[in-house]
């Protein structure tokens, strides 16, 4: 888990050839080194290009998906927090993320 607001930098190949990596979210606050491909060989996440070292949709992946984000951060989210989010969210519009994952997919792969 990378919590929102973390101040860290990912270096070249830190997730090199993680062929089974399917559930990761990179907060917008995280940086990468110059010309660093962070996820080379992570085929389940999609390919990166020269302009962006992160796969499409990974950076800020759950920014507009509060239920997904709570499930992704399951080790720090509380039941009360999840209930509050469920009560206040319009879930019909936000059932899947950019990778087609529902909150249930996220929690089972976290």
More confident residue, 53 or 21: 21
Q: Over 80: is that where the pLDDT of 29 sits?
A: no
Alpha helices in 49-102 (DSSP H): 66-72, 79-88
Token reading at 43: 């085929």
SS3 content of the chain, % helix, strand, coil (to 5): 25, 5, 65
pLDDT tens for 57-108 read 777 888 888 888 888 888 888 889 888 888 886 666 678 888 888 888 888 8
Determine if the pTM surpasses 0.75.
Answer: no
């Amino acid at each position: 888990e990378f919590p929102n607001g973390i101040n860290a930098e990912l270096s070249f190949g830190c997730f090199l050839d993680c062929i089974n990596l399917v559930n990761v979210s990179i907060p917008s606050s995280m940086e990468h080194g110059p010309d660093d491909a962070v996820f080379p060989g992570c085929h389940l996440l999609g390919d990166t290009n020269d302009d962006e070292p992160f796969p499409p949709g990974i950076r800020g992946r759950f920014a507009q998906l509060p239920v997904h984000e709570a499930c992704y951060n399951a080790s720090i989210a509380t039941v009360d927090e999840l209930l509050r989010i469920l009560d206040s969210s319009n879930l019909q519009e936000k059932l899947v993320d950019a990778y087609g994952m529902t909150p249930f997919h996220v929690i089972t792969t976290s």
